[in-house]
Amino acid sequence: MSYDRDLAFEYHNPTKVIFGENSIKEIGLEVESLGGSKALVVTDRGIKEAGLAEKVEKALGRRYVATFDQCIPDSGFHLVDEGASFALEKGADILVSVGGGSVIDTAKGMAMVMKEGGKLSDYRGIQVLNRPQTPHIVVPTTAGSGSEVTWFAVIKDWERNVKEAFVDVYLIPNKAILDPTMVAGLPPHLTAGPGMDSLSHAVEAIHSLQRQPIIDGMALQAARLIMEFLPRCVEKGDDLVARGQQQLAAAMAGIAFGNSQPGLVHAMAHPVGALYNVPHGVANAILLPHVMNFNMNECADRYALLARAMNLDVRSLSDEEAAGAAVEAVQDLVKRIGLPQKLREVDVPEEGLAEAADYSLADGSIVYNPRLVTDREEVLEVYRAAW
């Protein structure tokens, strides 16, 4: 756990977080304080049908101009360009994304294209922007991606069938409104998957090569809350206390991995999502315990901290034993909330694992994993264990 004198890090999170039941009512003032007067809502059809987008449109009142409701899972380069043109046509000067990770990431891309012009594909890479983008307020309707507080936008290039990460401090949303009533109606499968995404963010922050003390605090607290409240959210969707705590956990885990960066769990989940359309949170849920086992020799002491944060009784155990208990607790959680535990259950073919391993090795997240991974066989071994 201890850090040495060579500890050096940056911590950055500019997002204002507004939390509370019915806090969505504050959105008009929050728009104005960012200098916005024409807000475009970015969402998807499902959220629109559930009446959530309308709730935000009403709360925006006179600052509302239009809604772009074409978002799809994993987003798309073409979609971001289309959304940005639509927003400019409507004269929008601020974006309000209402949705899960894909919607939020679509809006991040739109904010960039609206400000800088051109197409999304002009801004590939890491930290290519040099000024603030179109203001963006996020109203998450799932609790998991943490995208409301991160500098990542993961958008699928449907032509090449890969998920691409845009990474830039100017993509971090200005504000996040966490209102438990906006997630209370989520069905179990849209609760469990994103919930496990958030736990993966917390664990990846804890084992990251870029780990640091401020982030440890957030990630461990996030893990504590997720273990306690995620099952409650799945079992009783309208439990607003549990929903609120899980929303906060997702945001904290988001800040955590946004600063310390994701690792092998995400490097392996991205190709499984891009190649076989496995939802991101489900892929993470399946892979997380196997990656923890793979990393065990490098960070048993940190997984032991995780076990304590998760309220496991590990007082008489060594770090290695406590770390093993943390892995088991993650597996038990996945089972309890009804998610699949094997890649074969979500139709990933065994013969596709080698291609997925190749993509993993090229994923930017892999460099932050505590155990150095350079060999395709090593990644394949983890995939096989999870298959």
Closest separation between CB of residue 131 and Fe ion, Å?
Answer: 27
How is residue 274 written in tokens? 């891009």
Tell me 117's DSSP state.
-
Closest separation between CB of residue 154 and Fe ion, Å?
Answer: 8
Query: Whose Cβ is closer to Fe ion: residue 59's or residue 250's?
Result: 250
Burial per residue of 94-124, b for 16 or more beta-carbon CB atoms within 10 angstroms, e otherwise: bbbbbbbbbbbbbbbbbbbbbebeeebeebe
Closest separation between CB of residue 315 and Fe ion, Å?
Answer: 32
Q: Which residues bind Fe ion (CB under 5 A)?
A: 197
Closest separation between CB of residue 31 and Fe ion, Å?
Answer: 28
Phi, psi of 316 (to 5 degrees): -95, 10
Closest separation between CB of residue 213 and Fe ion, Å?
Answer: 23
The answer to whether the beta carbons of residues 318 and 337 sit under 8 Å apart is: no
Three-state DSSP state, 252 = helix
CB atoms within 10 A of CB 285: 29
Query: Whose Cβ is closer to Fe ion: residue 100's or residue 324's?
Result: 100
Closest separation between CB of residue 262 and Fe ion, Å?
Answer: 7
Cα 144 from Cα 194, distance rounded (Å): 4
Q: How far is CA 291 from CA 5, 209, 296, in A?
A: 29, 15, 8
Give 120-183 as a DSSP string: GGGG-SBS---S--S-EEEEESSSS--GGG-SEEEEEETTTTEEEEEE-GGGS-SEEEE-GGGT
Query: Whose Cβ is closer to Fe ion: residue 178's or residue 325's?
Result: 178
Query: Whose Cβ is closer to Fe ion: residue 24's or residue 333's?
Result: 333
Cα 370 from Cα 107, distance rounded (Å): 32
Q: How far is CA 146 from CA 103, 210, 230, 327, 337, in A?
A: 12, 18, 15, 22, 20
Query: Whose Cβ is closer to Fe ion: residue 148's or residue 197's?
Result: 197
Q: Which residue type does 236 have?
A: K
Closest separation between CB of residue 301 and Fe ion, Å?
Answer: 24
Query: Whose Cβ is closer to Fe ion: residue 67's or residue 147's?
Result: 147
Query: Whose Cβ is closer to Fe ion: residue 168's or residue 197's?
Result: 197
Residue of minimal Cβ distance to Fe ion: 197
Three-state DSSP state, 333 = helix
Closest separation between CB of residue 3 and Fe ion, Å?
Answer: 26
Three-state DSSP state, 163 = strand
Query: Whose Cβ is closer to Fe ion: residue 116's or residue 197's?
Result: 197
